[in-house]
Amino acid sequence: LFTAAGVTIGNNVSGNTGLVTRAGAVGGVWDLLGGNLAVGTNTAVGNSLPLSGATITHVNNIDIGAAAGASGNSVTIGNGATVISGNILVGSDTDDYDPAHGNGNVLNVGGLGAASTVSNAGTVLVGNHYAGGNLGSSGNRLTVSNASLWSAGASIGRNSQTNTVTVLADATWNM
């Protein structure tokens, strides 16, 4: 599948799921051709994107829970899936006046099945509140298990609090 523009799963709506998976012995490939991928933007709650044995490539940025009110959104990259992207943002917001800043969003890399891979040329940001003043973007999580994660850097809890990154014994994160 080739997508010429950015893709959003759940913009001001909740409970949507996009599924990219392996079909038989061959994994599915989704090429975003340099566009952004967002899961849960604005007042979106509980949107998800599970990847199982598939590949998503040429993604500029991946935003999970972006903007005020986006909470409980998730991306799971497992069972041998591969993602090649730029920056990855888990819980981010620029609005200093809204107390519900992209909270409780999740990125799971790996898990059961074959080892998974995420390679990005950018930074992994978990809990980023770009505006000054009030704290925001809290309770966001990244877990890496049975996987390899490569990134140019990381930022955990920028102007925010209670964000968590867990890299388990069967995983690596190279920066």
Q: What tokens appear for 120 in the block?
A: 């990005």
Mean pLDDT of the chain: 88
* Per-residue model confidence as pLDDT tens digits over 60-91: 999 999 887 889 999 999 999 999 999 999 98
Q: What is the pTM of this model?
A: 0.91
Q: How far apart are CA 7 and CA 48, in angstroms?
A: 13
Helix (H) or strand (E) holding 57: strand 55-66
* Per-residue model confidence as pLDDT tens digits over 110-155: 998 999 999 988 999 998 866 655 666 788 999 999 999 999 999 8
